[in-house]
Amino acid sequence: MSFASIEFLIFFAVVLGGTWFIEFQFSTRVKECFLLLASYFFYGYWDWRFCFLLLFVTVSSYFSAKHHKKKAVFVTGVVVPLVVLGFFKYFNFFLSSVAAVIGKDPGALRIILPVGISFYTFQALSYVIDTHREKIPVENDFVKLALYISFFPQLVAGPIVRAADFLPQLREDRKVSFDNIKWGIQVFTFGLFKKIVLADHISVFVDDVYSKPVAFHWTAIVLATVSYSLQIYFDFSGYSDMAIGCAKCLGYDFNKNFNLPYISQSVTEFWRRWHISLSTWLKEYLYIPLGGNRKGKARQYLNLMITMLLGGLWHGANWTFVFWGGINGLALCADKLRHDKKRTGVLRWLKILATFIFITFTWIFFRADSFSTAKTVLKGIFTLQDGIHQPFVWSFVALAFLAVATLAAEIKARKAKTDTNGYYPILNLSKVWGLTVFFIVLGLIVGLAYTGENPFVYFQF
């Protein structure tokens, strides 16, 4: 059940109405159980068997956190989610990689990748590690912990919500309110627009070019690559907005997951603005435990590389993702070496452009299904290949949308004399003009939406 589907809208309306009704009539406990059941229903809609896997990871995290002072139990609590993730996501990948080295036919187990496994295992890990570090208290209430790990808005594609951020909200008596719904529904709609109007239309062109790169003119390949930068941003940030909006309607807050990443002046800044919940997770639970920058320069670079290589692998069981992580890691090391300062004026825009070009280049390896496709794409560009021209209009529409959003954020930041940050254009729905604009946006979504099947890019991770 994707957020951008009629089934989800019906499901969400029922859950929202049910939660509101329960808050009036029953205790918080009933509400938590209801949300937990709804979350498992949401997850089981894909494949009910994986609900048991989710439950297994939750039970494991619950007991290992409870007895985290015993080292063996704590280690088990960390290893179990990693083994689950490793088996379902990486088993065939490692098998085929080893077989390729020794030159044998690997065979393969028919393993279905459970949707969202990379996200909920990371959430479970954050809880176990944080309790062990005594950053958060042990959660004795199993329902609360299970709801934290399985809460449907963030279950299948993030944002990766940390226990320290979410469990305290469950302990408060958060309610469904009209104000929250007004805010949440607008953020959801904003995300829906990004996903089904912009990202999905662009995906048609990107898929065309990346499935037959030899057929296209080099300018079309360049445009498709730039378009993919836009597609993945609108797709994933759109999904995050929808998750944030859904949670808000139910009374819960998620942190921002994207903050205008394409106005970054360096790769380091990009990773502070892109998929913030993952970057923060990798920093706190991988980079810092590895030693961070506390053990000298050489070790810091090594730690950065390890973090980014594993971050790349987290995205998918393919060497192209590892390579993508690797080149991002190298760029981060280069940033650390240069100690380049933030610029203003024309230099700032040049640095933004250079970073965008570099990031777009790295997306080639992220999008291509193999090194061979990536090579064909690069060859097409650098040999100025002749072929089909396709000045795809939706790419320019998306670019214009991004430019306007960035300009609005820039003007706002200048007025407030702060850094440029993304924000949600929230309308006052109590006024006629606010409602009219909101209805127009809804109408545009219905009228302009791409009507084909197109799952969220990050579902595969």
Partner 1 sequence: MKIKQTAKALCKIALSGFLALLTLTAFCFFYYNIPAHQENKDGTTDYKWEPKVFYSRGTEGFAWGKTNNEGFLNPIDYNENTPPIDILIMGSSQMEAYNVNIRDSVTGRLGEHKTVYNIGIAAHDLMTCFGNMEAALNKYRPKYVVLETGKCLFTDEALSDAVSGTTGEIPSHSGGLVGLLQKNQYLRLVYGQLDNFMKKQADDDGDEAGVYSGADEGRNNDKLLSGLMQKISSTAREYNARVIILYHPRVLLEPDGSVKLKGSASAVEQFEQTCRENGLMFLDMSQRFTREYYENHRLPYGFANTSVGSGHLNKYGHAMIADELYRLISETE
Site of interaction with partner 1 (CB under 8 A) = 201, 204-205, 208-209, 211-212, 214-215, 217, 386-394, 432, 435-436, 438-440, 442-444, 446-447, 449, 451-453
CB of 207 to partner 1, least distance (A): 8
**Tokens 């295992």 label which residue?**
121
- Angle between helix axes 200-211 and 393-416 (nearest 10 degrees) is 130
Instruction: Return the bridge partners of 216, or none.
Output: 388
> Which residue among the candidates 67, 275, 315, 389 is catalytic per the annotation?
315
3-state secondary structure 323-375: HHHHHHHHHHHHHHHHCCCCCCHHHHHHHHHHHHHHHHHHHHHHHCCCHHHHH
Nearest CB to partner 1, comparing residues 140 and 428: 428
- 328 sits in the region (left: phi over 0; alpha: psi -120 to 50; else beta) called alpha
Nearest CB to partner 1, comparing residues 214 and 347: 214
Nearest CB to partner 1, comparing residues 166 and 193: 193
Report the C-alpha gap between 352 and 266 in whole angstroms. 7
What are the backbone dihedrals phi and psi of residue 388, each rounded to the nearest 5 degrees, phi first? Answer: -75, 135
Nearest CB to partner 1, comparing residues 404 and 446: 446
DSSP assignment, residue 216? B
Report the C-alpha gap between 31 and 18 in whole angstroms. 9
Q: Is 315 a catalytic residue?
A: yes
Instruction: Give the CA distances from residue 324 to residues 16, 370, 371, 384, in Å, rounded to whole numbers and listed in that order.
Output: 40, 12, 11, 24
The answer to whether residues 304 and 279 touch, using CB atoms and an 8 Å cutoff, is no
Nearest CB to partner 1, comparing residues 354 and 446: 446
CB of 170 to partner 1, least distance (A): 32
104: exposed, middle or buried (Cβ count in 10 Å: 0-12, 13-18, 19+) = exposed
CB of 157 to partner 1, least distance (A): 22
- Type of residue found at 147: L
Nearest CB to partner 1, comparing residues 389 and 414: 389
Q: Which residues belong to the active site?
A: 315
